[in-house]
Amino acid sequence: MRVHHLAAKTGVVLLILFALLSNLHWLLQAAFDPDFPRSDRISQYERRFEGLKKILPPHGVVGYLSHRQAQDMRFDAGTAEFYLTQYALAPLIVIYSSEREFVIGNFGASRVDPEIFTDHNLMQLRDFGNGVMLFRHKTP
């Protein structure tokens, strides 16, 4: 009988210990994250598009051009940037193509070689100064 009692008590104590330790471990990880507190990157990223949003139509489809590949979300660093651009500009639909009347350029902090858009038959409408640009297709 004592064995049953001891076994049951051991089980309950183990379960409680597991829960508390897991919880504490998780909490400490969250609290002592070396990056914490940092301003969230998505909000920062979104702010880059504030000027652009004011002059684009409220809905419809716009193209997208970047110096980074966004074909494969597993490997291409540009995928997150493309998705974040869509997140920032919704309900406008952003597609990864230069074959639209309006095309958004998203070039991060890198210097932009004009060939990157002239090769796509695009005319620069505006440079927002933070790597974000707006182009118009020369042949609609």
Partner 1 sequence: MSLILSFLVPPLIGFLLISLLWPSQGPLRSQLLIKSFLALGLGLGISSCIFFLWSVAFYPSRAGFAAVEAALLIGLAVILSYVIRTRGGSANPPLGPIANPRTHWILPGCFYTSLVAAAIAFVLSFIRNPHGGWDAWAIWNMRARFIFRGGDHWTDAFSGLLSWSHPDYPLLVPALIARGWVYVGQETVVVPALVSMLFALATVGLLSSSVTVLRGKSQGLLAGLTLLGTPLFIEQGTSQLADIPLSFFFLATIALFRLQEKLVENNRRFLFLAGMAAGLSAWTKNEGLLFLGSIMVTHLMVRVCVREWKVYLRQMLVFATGLAPVLTIILYYKTQLAPPNDLLSSLGSETSLARLADLSRYWLVGKVFAAEMAQFGKGFFSVTFLLASYLFLLGRNGEEKETPDIVAALMTLGTLLVGYFFAYIIIPYELLWSLSTSLSRLFLQLWPSLLLVFFLVVNTPEQAMKPHPPPGKHSRA
Contact flags string 56-85 toward partner 1, x per CB under 8 A: --xx-x-----------xx-----x--xx-
Choice between 42 and 123, CB closer to partner 1: 42
Token code pair at residue 45: 């990223």
Choice between 43 and 139, CB closer to partner 1: 43
Does the footprint of partner 1 cover residue 95 (CB under 8 A)? yes
Instruction: Write out the H or E segment, with its range, that includes residue 41.
Output: helix 41-47
Select from 76, 86, 101, 127 the one that contacts partner 1 (CB under 8 A).
Answer: 86
CA atoms of 82 and 67, how far apart (whole Å): 11
Could you identify the residue written with the tokens 């940092």? 38
Q: Spell out the residues 6+ positions from residue 109 whose beta carbon is closer than 8 angstroms to its own.
A: 131
The number of beta carbons lying within 10 Å of the beta carbon of residue 68 is 15
Does the footprint of partner 1 cover residue 138 (CB under 8 A)? no
SS3 content of the chain, % helix, strand, coil (to 5): 40, 20, 40
Provide the binding-site residues for partner 1, judged by CB under 8 A.
1, 4-5, 7-12, 14-16, 18-27, 30-31, 33, 35-38, 40, 42-43, 58-59, 61, 73-74, 80, 83-84, 86-87, 90-91, 93, 95
